[in-house]
Structure 1
Amino acid sequence: MDVTIRQLKAFLEIANVRNFRIASTNLGMSQPSLSALLKDLERKLGTALFTRTTRHVSLTNEGAHFVPIAEGLVRNFDLVIKNAWRDIKDRGNRVSIAISVTSIIPLIFPKLLKELSQTHPDIKLRLVSGLTRDMLERVTLGDAHLGIISAMPTPKLFTSRKLLSDRLVVIGRRDDPVMQDGSPMDWELLRRQSFVAWNSGGGMRNVIDMTPQLAELMERSHYEASNWEALKGMVAVGLGLTVVPWIIAHQERGGNLIYREIAELPGGAVSGREVFMAERRDAPRSAVTQIVVDLIDRHIKESTAYAEKT
């Protein structure tokens, strides 16, 4: 089809201002050139994108449907070009990591970055965070060399392996009598407690809801929040206990909160989440990326081993 990025940008500018004269001025081209670009785009797509009169320009139904598609294509194109230029400037010394499991960042990366600055000061490490689907898109587009995510990606596009299993635990105030016992909490004890909940429909709530008994505890809660800082505040003022991955609970050690393991519940073990490292299948791992991967593996192993002892 050979649609060009210039045609897409011209289409979006016309769709934005709904005026060929203004659009051509904004794009720095003549109005006949702009009309020719659009006409060729419509020919390639096989449909009219605008309804035009001498005084009015409006999108057709097909044109309105094409706007978000064109926006996505232009955004991805610009991102790929930006990243390609960054790679050229950095001469292969940059490693970008897209992370959806944000709780892993304070667990391992401060120490990892400190070590990296001492052993390989020439390596530039860039961390970005967001939803799993957005982080995988960054890996797909080459904006990130690695993805650290909480869902196994499709093997057709990515290679992946499990970094760790992130079990669920109960966390509460250190001075709460129910938290004083170091043994795992069984169902009879859990069901007598008040809980604050992760928001229904969120990624963490979906993980918790895989265990029916924990889902019941979340459902009966009067208070919900979508992030850990909000839930932490609720727990800290005594509104109840909550359920979190051990990565989060482990980082609260030494503070006002403490966690307890959950015993096997009626019907089976407690569900948890798994954390994966993903890479684009058709992009060979560079020597610099391998150095960072080795550091991630070692720091996760050390942090996990320490957590098992505390």
Structure 2
Amino acid sequence: MDAHLRELRYFVATAEELTVTAAAARLFVSQPALSKQLRALERRLGFALFERLPRGLALTEQGSSLLPVARSMLEAWDRGYVEARALSHPHQLTVGMQTAVGRDLQRPAVQRFRERAPGWTVSLRLVGWDDPTAGLADGTSDVAFLWIPVPADDIATRVLVRESRWVALPVEHRLADRPDVPFASLLGEAFVALPAAAGVLRDFWLALDARSGRPPLIAAEATAADEVLELVSAGVGIALIAEGNAHLYERPGLTFRPVPDLAPAELAIAWRRDDPRDVIHTFIDSVGE
């Protein structure tokens, strides 16, 4: 009986988290979709992998037996994929981004990297918010500029910038004339949110930690910064944004105000912990300077 790599990833993540909720967030899929895939895999295998408990899951004897095998297969495939991809683009480093980087980080970093790694080129790619790892999870990016938190334990980060969180408002909004906006005054507002696949990053930009359990009102979801701000400008909802991005994304019809009682946002350079290539750390060090 054959199992697809995706099914093995679903199995391993669920076995490590032992709750469908946490595993779905880690995998950037919905809970119903993950549950459906796990049950389909169990039917094809002919035995249960998990015991369903009132407060989560437990591995069955068969599941415990298969887990190390599945981990080994995934690790081998991931290593092989990275090596094969490197052969296709032997001297190209792909840098993922979720938003424009700016902040005088990207340009000097690329320049220093080229001086230290002659013959290498840098390719920049913008990745939607539905992949909060900006391509690191599936290997399509080698390093990435990411906003923390990152919902993946196998990704290492180095914080580059800490910035206040601001709110993006239509210019005609009732709070647009205030010098700053306490978050309590935004609790009843409709928000433009990142997609559910963004997991804990979506929660951060909805400031769930500052709502005292009060659920946010979601007016729309968006997968890119420009899309978020177009929806805000159209009056669909409001959105939290990093201070630096408020300056990068200025446009008519919008105003940005600081929200002083929220914890700051952190922009980081990120990479896969198991990537052994020296060129990765050459780029990371180039950014760190």
TM-score tier by shorter-chain length is 0.5 to 0.7
Are the structure 2 counterparts of residues 136 and 258 from structure 1 closer, same or farther at C-alpha, using a change threshold of 3 Å?
A: same
**Structure number with higher strand proportion:** 2
- Report whether the alignment pairs 1:198 with 2:190: no
Deviation at 1:85, TM superposition (A): 1.8
TM-score of the superposed pair, with normalisation by structure 1:
0.51
Q: Radius of gyration: which is bigger?
A: 1
Alignment match of 1:83 (pick from 71, 77, 85): 85
Amino acid at match of 2:228: L
What do you get for the CA RMSD once the two structures are aligned? 4.7
Contact 1:171/1:243, CA 8 A, preserved across alignment: yes
- In 1, Cα distance between equivalents of 2:288 and 2:267: 12
Find the residue that maps to 2:78 and give its secondary structure. helix
Contact 2:170/2:176, CA 8 A, preserved across alignment: yes
1:210-243: CA deviation from partner (whole Å, max 9, x where unpaired):
2226x74x62x36131434443233212234332
- In 2, Cα distance between equivalents of 1:106 and 1:145: 19
Calculate percent identity across the aligned residue pairs: 11
Contact 1:95/1:289, CA 8 A, preserved across alignment: no
- In 2, Cα distance between equivalents of 1:76 and 1:188: 45
Find the residue that maps to 1:196 and give its secondary structure. strand
Amino acid at match of 1:206: D
Find the residue that maps to 1:206 and give its secondary structure. helix
Amino acid at match of 1:296: V
Deviation at 1:61, TM superposition (A): 2.4
Contact 1:168/1:272, CA 8 A, preserved across alignment: yes
**Structure number with higher helix proportion:** 1
Unaligned runs of 5+ in 1: 1-9, 14-57, 265-269, 299-310
Deviation at 1:297, TM superposition (A): 4.4
Are the structure 2 counterparts of residues 85 and 104 from structure 1 closer, same or farther at C-alpha, using a change threshold of 3 Å?
A: same
Matching of residues 276-295 of structure 1 within 5 Å: 276-279=268-271, 280=273, 283=276, 285-286=278-279, 290=282, 292-293=283-284
Are the structure 2 counterparts of residues 282 and 223 from structure 1 closer, same or farther at C-alpha, using a change threshold of 3 Å?
A: closer
Q: What is aligned with 1:186?
A: 182
Q: What is aligned with 2:257?
A: 260
Unaligned runs of 5+ in 2: 5-42, 50-62
- In 2, Cα distance between equivalents of 1:234 and 1:274: 24
- Report whether the alignment pairs 1:103 with 2:104: no
- Report whether the alignment pairs 1:173 with 2:170: yes
Find the residue that maps to 1:223 and give its secondary structure. strand
Amino acid at match of 2:239: T
Q: What is aligned with 2:53?
A: none
Q: What is aligned with 1:273?
A: 265
